[in-house]
Chains A and B, each alone.
Chain A
């Protein structure tokens, strides 16, 4: 297979776009597309500070690399989850450190969950066998990412790719989680003073494309999966979607883009039970209060989910 642009041997064939490219042209295409979507979805502008949540994996390190190469003031945030199983957290941090060493001026902030809050993720998970470790970990990471972005006055970015988005979409559709569906978007503006703007500049790329970018850019990323993610539902949904993609080229892209179009057209409006203004979006109906302990926005009365988690953890220690 030959590159569409120069006829050299292609390194990647993006069947959903009917586009095969050589390494050189792929490394031009990815940044151009990313820049295009940053602009189109008004994710951020070049004057803003960007915080990239990095895990040491291919997506987040590729995103940081790409934003730096495009000239953005992109800083990294690594949340040390304290996963000692298979040396996962220490290996991940080592990859991030190596990435920073190779890039002059790249600034990294590390937040050690155990050091700051008293317990690592595996410790928390062991105390809560009824909760899925991945969702517990997600809650802690989201809180710390938001808090750090606010401290830095930055837009928070994550390396979520189209496969991630499509898998979450499938999960939300299978459970008809309309609230989640409404909040699933490539960019989430700040709707509260304690809520940072969030953006996913890689949301249109298939996972194989971000992996190819990392390989071609010589990014040394953590290849091993988190030991707690083995058998995770998200991975199962990704496998299902890949089988669909194998049968029908572009199925994953179509699934997600059709959802975004439907969302823009108001598919997730709901009927309110009373009054003349019977139609409202789920988001409009969502009352955001402030956590009485940390001040971060929450839909729950009293404490937010994060503070509830640590309050219970503290009580267990006491």
Chain B
């Protein structure tokens, strides 16, 4: 399966959960959402070889506003 995240891409075999796949590519499961074949899914789904997986970063910020 093909996994993309920002400007990075990986080819990995299927059969793992999305959560394990996220960890395998070195990302934090808390910090991404999983879009499989165009659909948002939870990270317990088992991914297959044919899946196109897009990992969406959810962390943003900067100014650390206090008020």
A residues within 8 Å of B by Cβ?
1, 9-13, 20, 23, 57-59, 134-135, 137-138, 141-142, 158, 160, 163-164, 167-168, 171-172, 177, 180, 183-184, 188, 198, 207-208, 210-212, 215-216, 223, 225-226, 228-229, 232-235, 238-239, 242-243, 245-246
Contacts and interface: CB of A to CB of B under 8 A. Distances in A.
Given A208-B58, A215-B56, A234-B61, A184 B33 contact: no
B64 A171 contact: yes
Q: Report the interface size class on chain B.
A: 20 to 34
Contacts of A158: 65
Nearest to B44: A1
Nearest to B30: A242
Identify the interface centre among A184, A198, A233, A242: most chain B CB within 10 Å of its CB.
A242
A23 B40 contact: yes
A232 B61 contact: yes
B61 A167 contact: yes
A238 B63 contact: no
B9 to A, nearest CB: 16
A246 B30 contact: yes
23 contacts: A1-B44, A1-B45, A13-B42, A58-B58, A134-B63, A138-B63, A138-B65, A163-B61, A167-B61, A184-B67, A215-B35, A215-B56, A223-B56, A229-B61, A232-B64, A233-B64, A234-B61, A234-B62, A238-B61, A239-B28, A242-B28, A242-B31, A245-B30
A12 B41 CA distance: 7
A141 B45 CA distance: 41
A227 B41 CA distance: 29
B62 A226 contact: yes
B43 interface: yes
Contacts of A226: 62
Contact of B44 (A13, A168, A216): A13
A11 B58 contact: no
Contacts of A232: 61-62, 64
Interface string B3-28: 00000000000000000000000001
